[in-house]
Amino acid sequence: MVDHKAIISNKSLKIRGLFHRGLAHPRFYLLIRMALAALFIYGGVVKLFDPKAFAATISTYDLVPEAILPMVAVGLPLIETIAGLALIFDRPWGLHLITGLLALFVFVLGYGILGDLNVDCGCFGADDLNKQAGLRKAFYRDLVLIGIVMPYLYLSRWVREAEGRGR
């Protein structure tokens, strides 16, 4: 008699092993980390160079009270930059911070799309995308980025263990 549970379990282990050897490979993990770090550092630094323009973009969404708008216009890009640096230095909280930022961005962009706002995304400084169509592109881009980051929240533990064994 064939033990179906054993066959399924064996296939599951093979798939998990492939998944871990592929996505969790230290070099691939490093590549993903550096690409995300560059993206977030670039986005943060560009906005830090012109916080007034970023504050103007944020105010068009009408989600942040005017009193704290300057703080958000400087604080958010600073957090993006710190998150990118955390990824460069492989700090475990860096992936969590990036995930939280992406969730925030998806929420805000979704709000802009549902509200049919004709505003700039504000992702990489003022006037980076063409208004409403840009919101949709940025929304989908951020969803893809979440799809990339989420597995690494899980896999980063195994990557660190693999790197530790290799030393």
The per-residue pLDDT for 167 is 39
Residues 6 or more apart in contact with residue 93 via CB below 8 angstroms: 86
Instruction: Name the residue ranges covered by the structural domains of the chain.
Output: 4-166
Query: CB of 120 within 8 A of CB of 57?
Result: yes
Query: CB of 61 within 8 A of CB of 117?
Result: yes
pLDDT single digits (tens) 56-85: 989 989 999 999 999 999 999 999 999 999
CA distance 158 to 163: 9
Query: Does the pLDDT of residue 18 top 60, yes or no?
Result: no
Query: pTM for the full model?
Result: 0.77
Query: Does the pLDDT of residue 1 top 70, yes or no?
Result: no
The per-residue pLDDT for 166 is 43
pLDDT single digits (tens) 33-49: 899 999 999 999 999 99
Query: Which residue type is seen at 1?
Result: M
- Cα distances (angstroms) measured from residue 154 to each of 19, 133, 151, 158, 167: 12, 33, 5, 8, 22
Query: Does the pLDDT of residue 124 top 80, yes or no?
Result: no
Residue 29's pLDDT band (cuts 50, 70, 90) = confident
